[in-house]
Amino acid sequence: MKKLYFGKVHIIGFGLSGKAVYNLLKENGNNIKIFEHSILNSKENLKIYYDAFNSDIYNADLIVPSPGVNYKILRKFIEKNLYILPEIEIGYYNIDGKDSFLIGITGTNGKTTTSLLIDHLLKPFNSMLYGNVGNAFCNNRRNYGLFVLELSSFQLSIIKKFKVNCGLFLNIEEDHLDWHLTFENYLTSKLNIFKNQDENDFKILNLDDKKIPKNINLSPSKTFYFSTLQESDCYFKDGKIFLFSKEILEIKNFPNIYGIHNVYNVLASILAIWCYLKDIERVKNLLNDRLGSFKIPEHRLEFVREINGIKFYNDSKSTNPHSVKYALLNFDKCILIMGGLTKDANFDILNDIVKQRVKFIVAFGKNKKFFYEKFKDIVDVFEFDDLESAVKFAFLNSKGEPILFSPGGSSFDLFKDYKHRGRVFKEIVNKL
């Protein structure tokens, strides 16, 4: 039997991950059918089944759902006891795990930045970056190596044997509850990153996040903590970062690392790198050589422009209240632009910090009334149908306060994705 031969495989959803699964499993002789609910303009000469829930969809040896497949749909496969695997696990079966080192990153916020940072720092060791960052693991054709993987809760919720040598759990806040239905389901999915680890592996946890359990018994792997509030295995104090009580860098020497949220990302990354190198001096030298050349990804508290002393920041990646909170921690007082679909998230966590640090809120888009009702008793909230009107109003009414575009909701009310939303914001600002 071939290593990746399953027989009859049904791929549900034909986006980036679905295509990567198709290509890899086709190479291994599987009989594949593709099911998709959206009409695709595919250049490949492939038969795609759009009548997704005819009875034939269940007649398979393996079901591979794309990350965005609705949980209620996924339940139908689970209830029929079908064999289900995420794309990330099929990619895992395609490598020699014993001769590889896998670093997996999950959390509500900071996954992409931390994944990119770890990969950037470990590039001298030929690291390869895959996962939710935009490059499916099934695209990999190397048998072994150093892999950095951004892992979503959707993928982790259905893993079977997938294992990382070093797992990072950055933070957690109520998010994607429209998919997971409960916070407990969401947390359980995130914790699955550790479930197949052994005593030679590592867990890395945020000591400051009270929602992350600190005594995780899913596996016997070693646990390390990072913090900005107290001394721990890797911590931030008085502008310096310490690893196992030894000072390894001063953050002022790296102006590209802006904001407390990015300090957290750096702390987690340092522990991950130590788990690979297991040498403090090598970690220190690597950081001081390479951290300064790292570019924070676009749309994450990105400085756009300053006009007449008014600074504009693009934080379009902010799709939940937790990420808005992290952004606001970097301002004494600002004007906040919010909008987007809110996915049943708990925005009450923002009440105190909005009261302290926001002059007023400008809400825009199809969900503007939600933001008005949520914050009208805390600060003034102004409503606009479109983003351009919201930005112009904020600019005209700023008395020098910075303008923070941190929507707090997903972009799909008016935009293709958060990247499209961020680009539109920057275009508007650059025309002022």
Task: Judge if 355 and 225 occupy the same domain.
Answer: no
- Mean pLDDT of all residues belonging to the chain: 92
Could you tell me if residue 2 is inside a domain?
no
Q: What is the Cα–Cα distance from 380 to 360, expressed in whole angstroms?
A: 5
pTM: 0.87
Neighbouring residues of 152: CB distance < 8 A, sequence distance ≥ 6: 67, 106, 111, 131, 132
Tell me the pLDDT tens digit for each residue of 410-420: 998 889 899 99
Neighbouring residues of 278: CB distance < 8 A, sequence distance ≥ 6: none
Task: Judge if 341 and 255 occupy the same domain.
Answer: no
Domain boundary among 84, 111, 132: 84
pLDDT at 1: 37
Q: What is the Cα–Cα distance from 277 to 362, expressed in whole angstroms?
A: 47
Q: What is the Cα–Cα distance from 377 to 105, expressed in whole angstroms?
A: 38
Could you tell me if residue 135 is inside a domain?
yes
CATH of the domain at 381: 3.90.190.20
- Nearest residue to 88 (alpha-carbon basis) of 109, 110, 66: 66
What would the two tokens of residue 29 be?
């002789």
Task: Judge if 114 and 196 occupy the same domain.
Answer: yes
Task: Judge if 178 and 276 occupy the same domain.
Answer: yes
- Nearest residue to 282 (alpha-carbon basis) of 158, 427, 121, 59: 121
Q: Confirm if 175 and 343 have CB atoms less than 8 A apart.
A: yes
Task: Judge if 74 and 131 occupy the same domain.
Answer: no
Could you tell me if residue 407 is inside a domain?
yes
Task: Judge if 115 and 235 occupy the same domain.
Answer: yes
CATH of the domain at 65: 3.40.50.720
Task: Judge if 17 and 48 occupy the same domain.
Answer: yes
Task: Judge if 245 and 123 occupy the same domain.
Answer: yes
Mean pLDDT, range 157-177, rounded to an integer: 88
Per the structure, the complete domain to which residue 55 belongs is given by 8-84
Domain boundary among 16, 50, 84: 84
Quote the percentage of the chain above a pLDDT of 70: 95
Q: What is the Cα–Cα distance from 363 to 340, expressed in whole angstroms?
A: 9
Task: Judge if 125 and 221 occupy the same domain.
Answer: yes
Place of tokens 């702390």: 267
- Where does the pLDDT of residue 258 fall: very low under 50, low under 70, confident under 90, or very high at 90 and above? confident
Task: Judge if 128 and 168 occupy the same domain.
Answer: yes
Place of tokens 């289900």: 84
Could you tell me if residue 332 is inside a domain?
yes
Q: Confirm if 72 and 185 have CB atoms less than 8 A apart.
A: no
CA 148 to chain centre: 13
pLDDT at 54: 66
Task: Judge if 165 and 51 occupy the same domain.
Answer: no
Task: Judge if 117 and 225 occupy the same domain.
Answer: yes
Could you tell me if residue 90 is inside a domain?
no
Mean pLDDT, range 262-273, rounded to an integer: 97
Number of domains in the chain: 3
Q: Hey, is 408 helix, strand or coil?
A: strand
Could you tell me if residue 105 is inside a domain?
yes
Mean pLDDT, range 226-241, rounded to an integer: 97
pLDDT at 31: 95
Could you tell me if residue 89 is inside a domain?
no
Tell me the pLDDT tens digit for each residue of 107-123: 988 999 999 999 999 99
- 259 pLDDT more than 90: no
pLDDT at 140: 96
CATH of the domain at 112: 3.40.1190.10
Quote the percentage of the chain above a pLDDT of 90: 75
Buried b (16+ CB within 10 A) or exposed e, 147-178: bbbbbbbbbbbbbeebbbbbbbbbbbbbbbbe
Could you tell me if residue 137 is inside a domain?
yes
- 192 pLDDT more than 50: yes
pLDDT at 219: 87
Domain boundary among 48, 65, 84: 84
